[in-house]
A and B are shown apart, each in its own frame.
Chain A
């Protein structure tokens, strides 16, 4: 597995020994299992022909930026999927934390500043904000995890409830202090520099700081998944919760922690999303979890539970983003993109099931 060249040689050696029937099967299996990759490739080629500047440093930079923005949420939600669950509250948690970030870090001389008594924005205050939003995300994740683990409720139900509750809190938050639901804008320059300051340039595209943060988070998650007892326990619980319990794994805490960690990731996503949105509305973060879930499933984090790799998640996010960037450049409008997203999720889940069945 480790060596792709040796792997390829092995496959070609096996292939040459197959009879006609097996060969046909090899190709149908190959095409179907990789349907989404092939689809992506087809879109890319078509877009490259239609829009020559699709193949450029600029759109590569754009891809990196978008991947960095969507990756943290996918990394968080992947843990829930490994536990054979999912998390529908991710997008709303991201929206809430984005709003909190916005309010905390509005310019002090901004006319519509919601809380004028907040301190001047400086490095310390940004750190406090970051920790606060991560804590808010983690708290909601903790609630999710507690109800899932303690009462064996299906994660769909629990996270659907928290999704609605969080939306209620968002609406309530936007009505605070006579704000009356107005979007939050006028973010301070220090915050914009911290999140979106230029890391380096890739052709015409600016690579912002949050790309670096996404790389750090990915490394951190890789470490947690592969090198810690918590990570091993998570896979064990996802694979067979009852066996994990008998083997001495604390299933309750593992489940709670996975959801809490996921919540913390959404909190961070909100922190970045505040910058990306520029002006934060109550609808910020809506349906982000769908993108994240789709990316995970495409990347091989199976709903069967107990499997998944960080590299797969990154690949999943990249593929989804490439498809969307290609479609956007072709001029497919955003409402159509939702329909396409829906079809992609259905397709990805069917692929997921197919892989499980064929492997057996």
Chain B
């Protein structure tokens, strides 16, 4: 006789669920495995991802000369690269949006995620 069989049976017996899970028949043990696998997957994924941590800040020169991308950690202030150049235009700064409306604010803005900054240009009055 197996002394642990009552609990085991209760745990391995698939049972019907209700609501949105209607028609699902699953045992507690199966769910335990799914939960453990999910948690392991999350931890593993985070661990792998942290091998190369940081956020990529790319710069869209908007027609000017290319600027290399940077990798920075969360919350750091951005060290702005030397400005690109463009024939017949002068550089007005790095903007958060393509339409060049919101300027990247060196004092207040910090890196929170992957980011692309756009170069703003003003036509030279020659």
Residues of A within 8 A of B (CB): 21, 25, 28, 32, 35, 39, 42-43, 51, 53, 81, 84-86, 112, 182-183, 185-186, 238, 278-279, 302-306, 327-334, 336, 339-340, 343-344, 346-347, 350-351, 353-354, 356-358, 360
Q: Is the CB of B42 within 8 A of A305?
A: no
- The residue that A328 contacts in the complex, of B22, B41, B113, with Cβ under 8 A, is B113
C-alpha spacing A336/B47, complex, angstroms: 11
* Residues 42-98 (chain B) with a chain A CB within 8 angstroms: 42-43, 45-46, 49-50, 53-56, 73-75, 96-98
C-alpha spacing A186/B97, complex, angstroms: 11
C-alpha spacing A339/B46, complex, angstroms: 10
Q: Is the CB of B97 within 8 A of A328?
A: no
Determine the interface band of chain B, counting residues with CB < 8 A from chain A: 35 or more
Cβ of B112 within 8 Å of any chain A Cβ, yes or no, is yes
Cβ of B32 within 8 Å of any chain A Cβ, yes or no, is yes
Chain B hits for A278, CB < 8 A: 96-97, 102
Q: Nearest chain A CB to B23's CB is how many angstroms away?
A: 12
C-alpha spacing A204/B100, complex, angstroms: 28
Q: Is the CB of B38 within 8 A of A346?
A: yes
Which applies to chain A's interface (DSSP): helix, strand, loop or mixed?
helix
Chain B hits for A350, CB < 8 A: 31, 34-35, 38
Chain B hits for A351, CB < 8 A: 31, 35
Q: Nearest chain A CB to B14's CB is how many angstroms away?
A: 9
C-alpha spacing A238/B18, complex, angstroms: 11
Q: Nearest chain A CB to B40's CB is how many angstroms away?
A: 9
C-alpha spacing A339/B42, complex, angstroms: 8
Of B36, B41, B74, most buried by chain A (CB within 10 Å of CB) is B74
C-alpha spacing A306/B35, complex, angstroms: 23
- The residue that B98 contacts in the complex, of A183, A304, A330, A358, with Cβ under 8 A, is A183
- Measured CB to CB, the nearest residue on chain B to A360 is B15
Q: Nearest chain A CB to B68's CB is how many angstroms away?
A: 18
Of A32, A42, A85, A182, most buried by chain B (CB within 10 Å of CB) is A32
Q: Is the CB of A333 within 8 A of B28?
A: no
- The residue that B102 contacts in the complex, of A112, A185, A334, with Cβ under 8 A, is A185
Q: Nearest chain A CB to B117's CB is how many angstroms away?
A: 13
Q: Is the CB of B45 within 8 A of A39?
A: no
Chain B hits for A330, CB < 8 A: 46, 50, 53, 74
Please give 10 more A-B residue pairs, beta carbons under 8 A apart, in addition to A51-B75, A305-B19, A336-B49: A43-B46, A51-B74, A53-B75, A81-B20, A238-B19, A278-B102, A303-B19, A340-B46, A344-B38, A346-B34
C-alpha spacing A35/B22, complex, angstroms: 24
Contacts known (A343-B41, A351-B35, A357-B31); A332 close to B50, Cβ less than 8 A: yes
Cβ of B1 within 8 Å of any chain A Cβ, yes or no, is no
Q: Nearest chain A CB to B85's CB is how many angstroms away?
A: 26
C-alpha spacing A286/B113, complex, angstroms: 17
Q: Is the CB of A35 within 8 A of B39?
A: yes
Contacts known (A35-B35, A331-B50); A344 close to B42, Cβ less than 8 A: yes
Contacts known (A328-B112, A336-B45, A340-B46); A304 close to B74, Cβ less than 8 A: no
Q: Is the CB of B35 within 8 A of A354?
A: yes
C-alpha spacing A33/B28, complex, angstroms: 11
C-alpha spacing A211/B106, complex, angstroms: 26
Q: Is the CB of A334 within 8 A of B114?
A: yes
C-alpha spacing A357/B19, complex, angstroms: 13
Give the top 7 A-B pairs by smallest Cβ distance, nearest first.
A331-B53, A347-B38, A305-B19, A303-B20, A84-B19, A304-B19, A354-B31
Q: Nearest chain B CB to A343's CB is how many angstroms away?
A: 5
